[in-house]
Amino acid sequence: MGVIKVKDLIFEYIRRDEEGNVEGITTAVDDVSLDINQGDFVSILGHNGSGKSTLAKHLNAILYPTEGTVWVDGKDTKKDEYLWDIRQTAGMVFQNPDNQIIGQVVEEDVGFGPENMGVPTKEIWERVEESLKAVGMYEFRKHSPNKLSGGQKQRVSIAGVIAMHPKCIILDEPTAMLDPKGRKEVIRAVRALNDVEKITIILITHYMEEVIYSDKVYVMDKGKVALQGTPREIFSQVERLRKLRLDVPQVTLLAHELKQEGFPIPEGILTKEEFAEAIDRCADML
Ligand code: ADP
Ligand code: MG
């Protein structure tokens, strides 16, 4: 079993009026199954309201299945006795870094998690140092978080999660509120955690450029998994993605359009480098 396993998950929000009478039911996650192995980098794409956040909240026991089962490191999230184990195994990073940072000083903030876990003081400082280094924020350890940029703050919140030594980090649109520079910093840090520390990553995003590094991509639509595959398999389906109201990376789109015009270019071009190579080969043939 993978570090995260989701089987036949259904989640319904029950909407109530002011008197508490049931007004209706929204099926936010509708029969989803996932199996994510230790060390994988998985991305979840989907337009607004497709159920990504609801799914993510099941992966560290913020929400519990209406039907189906979620296991984190083999532990059923429905069982109360596993709650703290699960929260420690699967750390969560949200959209707004301002809501996640509570310390007055960066290093203090990063230390809160391990402190709450009862980690001995000496080890807390070791963890704070290693976590800040892992996200490239060590030199800011004595700074006030208030003065940092959005990308820096988000890297501090990621450090706060990794200081708890999770096996897996779930990031729910961590770059949505950042400028392009901040987005790049955060994605670079996340990739390093996966490459170097072998932490399992589940990245929820709607920036297409951010998912090209993943081992696997899931595309959600109306609570269901509409597509799954490698980034190349996913981005080879430009028309399908458009129907799911998703864009593709600009180079992928350009390559697709040239192919439509009859140029011998493969589908699923992901980077500028691949695009340049394909164009070179094209030029050789003409
Ligand atoms: P995403 O993260 O992909 O935007 P969400 O998981 O937030 O999607 O939402 C999925 C569906 O569930 C949407 O239809 C949304 O309106 C609904 N929903 C989300 N949160 C709640 C809530 N707290 N109460 C009722 N409905 C909700
Ligand atoms: Mg969301």
Each residue of 104-123: pLDDT tens digit?
Answer: 999 999 999 999 989 999 99
Q: How far is the CA of 66 from the centre of ligand 2 (A)?
A: 19
Residue 52's domain comprises 4-231
Which carries the bigger pLDDT value, residue 44 or residue 249?
A: 44
Q: What is the mean pLDDT of the chain?
A: 93
* Mean predicted confidence (pLDDT) in 241-264: 87
List, as ranges, residues with CB under 5 A of the ion ligand 2.
Answer: 52-53
Tell me whether residue 286 is in a domain: no
Say if ligand 1 is within 6 A of residue 48 CB.
Answer: yes
The amino acid that residue 46 corresponds to is G
CA distances from 140 to 66, 132, 163, 187, 230 (A): 43, 9, 16, 19, 36
What percent of the chain is predicted at pLDDT more than 70?
A: 100
Question: Residue 189 class from Cβ within 10 Å (0-12 exposed, 13-18 middle, 19+ buried)?
Answer: buried
CA distance 273 to 233: 18
**How confident is the model at residue 100, as a pLDDT?**
86
pLDDT tens figures, 22-45:
999 999 999 999 999 999 999 999
pLDDT tens figures, 57-82:
999 999 999 999 999 999 999 999 99
Q: How far is the CA of 51 from the centre of ligand 1 (A)?
A: 6
Q: How far is the CA of 48 from the centre of ligand 1 (A)?
A: 9
Q: Count up the domains in the chain and report the number.
A: 1
Pocket mutation for ligand 1, best pick of 53, 59, 221 (most atoms within 8 Å of C-beta): 53
Q: Is the pLDDT of residue 286 over 90?
A: no
**How confident is the model at residue 209, as a pLDDT?**
85
Tell me whether residue 244 is in a domain: no
**How confident is the model at residue 75, as a pLDDT?**
97
Tell me whether residue 268 is in a domain: no
**How confident is the model at residue 248, as a pLDDT?**
83
pLDDT tens figures, 118-154:
999 999 999 999 999 999 999 999 999 999 999 999 9
Ligand at minimal distance from the CA of 49 is: 1
**How confident is the model at residue 282, as a pLDDT?**
81
**How confident is the model at residue 206, as a pLDDT?**
82
**How confident is the model at residue 271, as a pLDDT?**
87
Nearest CA residue ID for atom 1, ligand 1: 49
Say if ligand 1 is within 6 A of residue 52 CB.
Answer: yes
Tell me whether residue 247 is in a domain: no
3-class secondary-structure state, position 47? coil
How is 191-246 classified by DSSP, letter by letter?
HHHHHTT--EEEEE-S-GGGGTT-SEEEEEETTEEEEEE-HHHHHT-HHHHHHTT-
Chain centroid to CA 100: 16
Tell me whether residue 249 is in a domain: no
Q: How far is the CA of 53 from the centre of ligand 2 (A)?
A: 4
Looking up residue 223, the CATH number of its domain turns out to be 3.40.50.300
Nearest CA residue ID for atom 15, ligand 1: 49
Residue 101: CB partners within 8 Å, gap ≥ 6? 109, 145, 153, 156, 157, 160
Say if ligand 1 is within 6 A of residue 53 CB.
Answer: yes
Say if ligand 1 is within 6 A of residue 172 CB.
Answer: no
Tell me whether residue 153 is in a domain: yes
Q: Is the pLDDT of residue 285 over 80?
A: no
Tell me the pLDDT band of 53, cut-offs 50, 70 and 90. very high
Q: Is the pLDDT of residue 265 over 90?
A: no
Helices 272-285 and 250-260, axial angle in degrees (round to 10): 20
* Mean predicted confidence (pLDDT) in 211-227: 95
* Mean predicted confidence (pLDDT) in 151-175: 94
Tell me the pLDDT band of 102, cut-offs 50, 70 and 90. confident
CA distance 107 to 122: 14
State the virtual CA torsion across 240, 246, 252, 257 in degrees, nearest 10. 60
Question: Which atom of ligand 1 is least distant from the CA of 223?
Answer: 10
The amino acid that residue 276 corresponds to is A
Tell me the pLDDT band of 204, cut-offs 50, 70 and 90. very high
Nearest CA residue ID for atom 22, ligand 1: 13
Shortest CA distance to 153 belongs to which of 145, 161, 142, 143? 145
Long-range contacts of 273-281 (CB under 8 A, 24+ apart): 275/251
Q: Is the pLDDT of residue 266 over 90?
A: no
Nearest CA residue ID for atom 5, ligand 1: 51
Contact 163, 115 (CB under 8 A): no
Contact 127, 114 (CB under 8 A): yes
DSSP category for residue 94: -
**How confident is the model at residue 178, as a pLDDT?**
87
Question: Which atom of ligand 1 is least distant from the CA of 55?
Answer: 6
Say if ligand 1 is within 6 A of residue 51 CB.
Answer: yes
Nearest CA residue ID for atom 7, ligand 1: 53
